[in-house]
C-alpha cells in the first residue's frame, strides 16, 4: 500500500507483547509492533530488526513476506535447541530470545518491593494455584498492630493516629543511602528505599551508575602515591544505555586504581536526570549517579559481584 501524508496514526497507545520492539513502519509515520520470527511481514508490518530479523519476500507473494533471521549461532537450553532470533518461554515467568548463541530473558512477573504502609501494614507475597506469578496480599491484623507497624514512617503525635487522607503532612521522610553500583565497570544499577512520595509509602528507587568505563585508561600515580583516587575524564563523552545515547555529553569523574591491592569505589555522589535518545526516535529520562569523590580501601568486591555477603560498603548519596 502506498504511503499517505499527512500521517494518520492510531490515537490509542501502542500495546505490544512483552519483549516486542516498537519500530517505525516503512513510511516513517507510525510506530508499530515488530513482527517476530516466522510471522508474516510487509512494508507496513516490519520485522524486529533489533533481533536480527528481516522480511523475506521471496517465499510469499502479493506484497507479503515472512520474518527470517540472519545467520547466527543457535542456543542450547536444557537440551533444547533454539534458532537465532527465536523467542520462547522456558517457564511462565520468563520470556526469552536467542541472539547469535546468547540467551536474553525478560521477567514476566513483577519483582516490585512493598514495605509496610498504613493501608497495608503486613504485605505478603502469595502463590495462587491457578496463577503463575505471586501476588501481594495485605494481611489484616489488630488495630494496635496495624498502626504499630506503619507508625515508623510517621511523625509521633500521641493526640491522633495518621489519617490516610493526610499522609503527606504527617509523613516523616526516611531515605536510605544508595547501594553499591551493580557493576565495577560499565553501566550498572544502584538502588535505595524512600518514602518521599504523596502516599508516604516505602518504595525502591533506582538510578544508573558507572564507576568507570570498562576500557578506562588509568592515570599514572604520582611519585610517592599508590592510588589515583578520583580522576576526571579528559574528554567529554556520551553515555549509552540499552542502545540509546545521552542527548548531551558529560565530563564525569570516575574511580581510579591503586598499586597496593586496594580498590577505589564511589564515596560521595549526586544524582541527576539524564535524557537518552534512541535510534528509533524515542527519548526517555533516567536518574544517574555522578561521582564527587571516591575512597580507596581493602574491603573490595570480588569478580565484579557486589552482592557478596562479605561486601557491605555503601555510598553517601544526595537525599534530594
Partners of residue 10 on adjacent β-strands:
none
CA dist 68 and 75 (Å) reads: 16
Into how many domains does the chain fold?
4
Q: Is the pLDDT of residue 150 over 50?
A: no
For residues 289-314, average pLDDT = 62
Is 171 a member of any domain? Answer: no
Domain boundary among 13, 45, 70: 70
CATH code of 62's domain: 4.10.40
CA dist 298 and 301 (Å) reads: 9
* Residues 30, 84 share a domain: no
| Per-residue pLDDT, 11 | 83
Q: Is the pLDDT of residue 288 over 90?
A: yes
pLDDT band at 286 (very low <50, low <70, confident <90, very high): very high
Q: Which domain holds residue 99?
A: 75-107
* Residues 92, 11 share a domain: no
Using DSSP's 3-state secondary structure scheme, residue 286 falls into: strand
pLDDT tens track for 37-90 = 888 888 888 888 877 788 888 766 677 888 888 777 788 888 788 888 888 888
* Residues 272, 202 share a domain: yes
Is 218 a member of any domain? Answer: no
Residue of higher predicted confidence among 109 and 145: 109
Is 201 a member of any domain? Answer: yes
Average pLDDT, the chain: 77
DSSP letter for each residue of 115-137:
--BTTBSSEEEE--TT-SS-EEE
Cell of 208: 544508573
For residues 11-21, average pLDDT = 83
| Per-residue pLDDT, 158 | 45
Is 284 a member of any domain? Answer: yes
Q: Are 288 and 246 in contact (CB under 8 A)?
A: no
CA dist 307 and 320 (Å) reads: 26
Is 283 a member of any domain? Answer: yes
pLDDT tens track for 155-212 = 555 455 545 445 556 777 888 888 888 888 888 888 888 888 887 777 888 899 998 8
Q: Are 54 and 48 in contact (CB under 8 A)?
A: no
CA dist 108 and 132 (Å) reads: 9
Phi (first) and psi of residue 301, to 5 degrees: -70, 155
* Residues 92, 32 share a domain: no
Residue of higher predicted confidence among 216 and 278: 278
Amino acid at each position: 500500500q502506498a504511503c499517505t501524508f499527512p500521517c494518520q496514526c492510531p490515537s490509542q497507545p501502542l500495546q505490544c507483547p512483552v519483549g516486542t520492539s516498537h519500530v517505525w513502519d516503512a513510511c516513517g509515520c507510525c510506530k508499530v509492533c515488530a513482527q517476530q520470527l516466522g510471522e508474516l511481514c510487509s512494508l507496513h508490518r516490519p520485522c524486529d530488526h533489533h533481533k536480527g530479523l528481516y522480511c523475506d519476500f521471496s517465499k510469499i507473494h502479493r506484497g507479503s513476506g515472512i520474518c527470517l533471521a540472519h545467520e547466527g549461532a543457535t542456543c542450547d537450553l536444557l537440551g533444547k535447541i533454539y534458532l537465532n532470533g527465536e523467542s520462547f518461554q522456558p517457564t511462565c515467568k520468563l520470556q526469552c530470545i536467542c541472539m547469535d548463541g546468547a540467551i536474553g530473558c525478560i521477567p514476566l512477573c513483577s519483582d516490585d518491593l512493598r514495605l509496610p504502609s498504613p493501608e497495608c501494614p503486613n504485605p505478603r507475597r502469595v502463590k495462587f494455584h491457578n496463577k503463575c506469578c505471586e501476588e501481594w496480599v495485605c494481611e489484616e491484623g489488630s488495630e494496635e498492630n496495624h498502626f504499630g507497624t506503619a507508625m515508623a514512617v510517621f511523625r509521633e503525635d500521641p493526640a491522633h493516629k495518621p489519617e490516610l487522607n493526610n499522609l503527606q503532612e504527617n509523613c516523616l521522610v526516611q531515605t536510605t543511602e544508595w547501594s553499591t553500583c551493580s557493576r565495577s565497570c560499565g553501566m550498572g544499577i544502584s538502588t535505595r528505599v524512600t518514602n518521599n512520595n504523596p502516599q508516604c509509602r516505602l518504595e525502591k528507587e533506582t538510578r544508573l551508575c558507572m564507576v568507570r568505563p570498562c576500557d578506562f585508561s588509568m592515570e599514572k600515580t604520582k611519585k610517592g602515591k599508590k592510588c589515583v583516587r578520583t580522576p576526571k575524564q579528559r574528554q567529554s563523552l556520551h553515555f549509552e544505555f540499552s542502545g540509546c545515547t545521552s542527548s548531551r555529553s558529560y565530563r564525569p569523574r570516575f574511580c581510579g586504581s591503586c598499586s597496593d591491592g586496594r580498590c577505589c569505589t564511589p564515596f560521595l555522589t549526586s544524582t541527576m536526570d539524564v535524557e537518552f535518545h534512541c535510534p528509533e526516535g524515542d527519548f526517555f529520562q533516567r536518574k544517574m549517579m555522578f561521582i564527587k569523590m571516591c575512597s580507596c580501601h581493602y574491603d573490595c568486591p570480588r569478580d565484579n559481584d557486589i552482592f557478596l555477603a562479605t561486601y557491605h560498603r555503601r555510598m553517601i548519596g544526595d537525599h534530594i
